[in-house]
Structure 1
Amino acid sequence: MVKTGRPKKAELTVTEADRRELVRGARAATSTQAYALRCRIVLACAEPEAFNKDVAAELGISVPTVAKWRGRFIEHGLAGLADEPRPGRPPSILLDQVQQVVELTLEQTPPDATHWSRASMARRSGLSRSTIGRIWRHFDLKPHRTEGFKISTDPLFVEKVVDVVGLYHNPPERAVVLCVDEKSQMQALDRSQPVLPMMPSAPERVTHDYVRHGTTSLFAAFNIADGTVITELHRRHRAAEFKKFLISIDKAVPAELDIHLVCDNYATHKTPLIHQWLARHPRFHVHFTPTGSSWINQVERWFGYLTAQLTRRGVHKSVAALEKDVRDWIERWNTEPRPFVWRKTAEEVLDSLARYLKRISGAEH
């Protein structure tokens, strides 16, 4: 079909040097949102048969905006994309100084520390501490913060993500899907001094040191359909205990239903003892999560609730006391279970990871 729309007043031509600068301006962290958008407009207009109407629809902006910056570029080149001078006091902080602070923050570290502080960056750049703080807030830079991550190296990562997420979105008929894992080495901890209760203007206070009274392991199977949990507590964490837990699951689930287990690659889940038991119980189907990807197992989120609401601030003088509190907490949970809602599809998970890997890829990675 022949495209319709207002014809272009003049041909827009982008040289290779201009294209490199436009791509850099559209992607650079130091570019303002307005300048980055203008660069994307020109790049889109440079495509063959790029009508203003089509570019506006692609970028989610108005046709007059596309026409304005197309005309500016045709008339003035890259200089036409800059904001026109406005009356008022000239800025005290030049753009070159802002760019220097951002580049130093992202690309270098101070010689005497692992990360920049406002004081060290102020000494390095010659700006004030408050100015450094405003620049960092504007670009959402937080050098003092660090977060953990783990990217799976499992060669079957894609297949396992598709398999597990597919279970969450489309569970099989006449079957139950259980997310299984162990919360091992749960410690019965007693603070060295009594806990000081919360008071107005003062939070609860606990001593930083404690006395250990032993450990226990919680085996749990989280039902993704209704949120109920099948659990067992064992003092040891071996394949023998995992087999006992599988037997408990077999007894708890009606015989006419198949059982799909989502579990990780822990060694106790793959021993010959477990393989033999599963071979004798064909209604069990095991789906392994990718290595280093416990976030995909819903029971881990349930363990997070247990930790936040019971064990992190709990005080127990014996393992038996810890186990009693855990059983009571689980009993209360099962009276009002709350299933989790898994919203992302496998394609969205993989696309998100691919975008992140593309952002961090470079010569230093």
Structure 2
Amino acid sequence: MEQLCQLNGLAGELGEQHDIELYSADEKCGMQALERTAADLPAAPAHVRRRECNYIRHGTQSLMAALHVASGEVCASIGQTRTESDFVSFIEWVMAELPPQKKAVFVLDQLNTHKSESLVRLMARLNGDEQDLGQKGKSGVLHSMVTRMKYLQGPSLDDVRSQSQRIRFVYTPKHCSWLNVVEGWFSGLQNRLLSLVSCQSVTELADRVLEYVAYYNENWAKKINWRKVKKADIDLLVKKTRKLVTKLTG
């Protein structure tokens, strides 16, 4: 956990001094294209905008996003599914957008599609690794998710500044996907757009999401400023939380 925070704090230095771009990547699946059966009632004095509760479902879309930690900008792709091949194609697309001299580190959670055979083969190809990767489920690097994850992580995080590989991956601890900063961006997308928009098709939903991404990159994207949190800060937060819980529960 501490290493991930340090890595995020180094994002600017890695890009400017070492040609290493840091991305926080994940998927947001099941975005529903909901068409409200009636228009919202506009805001009035002493009343917020009121929303029609009934809707028509038009299907779902899956979003794949990679947040560039140093700049705050987001690369995004939308489709019907979020399969192993979908994720590999997304990573390959992000890498294709980088200049040849640039290297990349992707922070991911431990979803099985993030430790797949296809991703291992993509990494080997981009890094020029010609070793025998073995056979999935039987031998070598491809033997299991454990061996694949070890290969995808590459060297220790302590050596990230001297990374020679074109691409590598860093994983959040199990049950700690919230440490991935793109999750905060997903929250903003949900609150600012998905909870409010009314769409008549999945195509319209996809267009609206991509419009949001473009607007965000142009107007709101900014470098995430990281600072080291002291134990005293954590103790104070725990104390305030306990006090609030006691007050709410009586």
User: Under a length normalisation based on structure 1, what TM-score does the superposition of the two structures give?
Assistant: 0.50
* Counterpart code for 2:7: L
- Where does residue 117 of structure 1 map in the other structure? none
Gapped regions of structure 2 (runs ≥ 5): 128-165, 243-250
Q: 1:340 aligns with which of 200, 224, 228?
A: 224
Q: 2:85 aligns with which of 240, 246, 250?
A: 240
* Counterpart code for 1:299: V
* Counterpart code for 1:344: K
Mapped partners of 1:352, 1:279: distance in 2: 41
**Is 1:285 the counterpart of 2:184 in the alignment?**
no
**Is 1:186 the counterpart of 2:70 in the alignment?**
no
Greater RCO (Cα-Cα under 8 Å, separation 6 or more):
2
Preserved CA contact (<8 Å) 1:163 1:287: no
- Where does residue 231 of structure 1 map in the other structure? 76
Please report how far the alpha carbon of residue 309 of structure 1 lies from its aligned counterpart in structure 2 after TM superposition. 1.1
Q: 1:296 aligns with which of 166, 179, 197?
A: 179
Q: Higher strand share goes to which structure?
A: 2
Please report how far the alpha carbon of residue 290 of structure 1 lies from its aligned counterpart in structure 2 after TM superposition. 1.1
Q: 2:112 aligns with which of 256, 261, 267?
A: 267
Q: State the number of aligned residues.
A: 195
Preserved CA contact (<8 Å) 2:32 2:61: yes
Q: Secondary structure at the match of 1:212?
A: strand
Mapped partners of 2:226, 2:184: distance in 1: 12
Q: 2:56 aligns with which of 211, 222, 230?
A: 211
Please list the CA deviations of residues 87-131 of structure 1 after superposition, one character each: whole Å capped at 9, or x if unmatched. xxxxxxxxxxxxxxxxxxxxxxxxxxxxxxxxxxxxxxxxxxxxx
Preserved CA contact (<8 Å) 1:261 1:285: yes
Mapped partners of 2:108, 2:54: distance in 1: 34
- Where does residue 152 of structure 2 map in the other structure? none
* Counterpart code for 2:170: H
Mapped partners of 2:31, 2:5: distance in 1: 29
Mapped partners of 1:312, 1:338: distance in 2: 24
**Is 1:164 the counterpart of 2:9 in the alignment?**
no
Please list the CA deviations of residues 61-89 of structure 1 after superposition, one character each: whole Å capped at 9, or x if unmatched. xxxxxxxxxxxxxxxxxxxxxxxxxxxxx
* Counterpart code for 1:303: F
- Where does residue 75 of structure 1 map in the other structure? none
Preserved CA contact (<8 Å) 2:105 2:169: yes
Q: 2:100 aligns with which of 255, 259, 277?
A: 255
1:13-24 → structure 2 map (5 Å cutoff): none
Please report how far the alpha carbon of residue 323 of structure 1 lies from its aligned counterpart in structure 2 after TM superposition. 0.8
Please report how far the alpha carbon of residue 342 of structure 1 lies from its aligned counterpart in structure 2 after TM superposition. 2.4
* Counterpart code for 1:295: W
* Counterpart code for 1:272: E
- Where does residue 52 of structure 1 map in the other structure? none
Please report how far the alpha carbon of residue 168 of structure 1 lies from its aligned counterpart in structure 2 after TM superposition. 1.1
Please report how far the alpha carbon of residue 240 of structure 1 lies from its aligned counterpart in structure 2 after TM superposition. 0.8
Q: 1:263 to 1:209 in 2, by over 3 A?
A: same
Mapped partners of 1:258, 1:243: distance in 2: 17
Preserved CA contact (<8 Å) 2:33 2:198: yes
Q: 1:294 to 1:342 in 2, by over 3 A?
A: farther
CA root-mean-square deviation: 2.2
**Is 1:329 the counterpart of 2:174 in the alignment?**
no
Preserved CA contact (<8 Å) 2:9 2:225: no
Please list the CA deviations of residues 120-166 of structure 1 after superposition, one character each: whole Å capped at 9, or x if unmatched. xxxxxxxxxxxxxxxxxxxxxxxxxxxxxxxxxxxxxxxxx133112
Taking every aligned residue pair, what percent have the same amino acid on both sides?
29
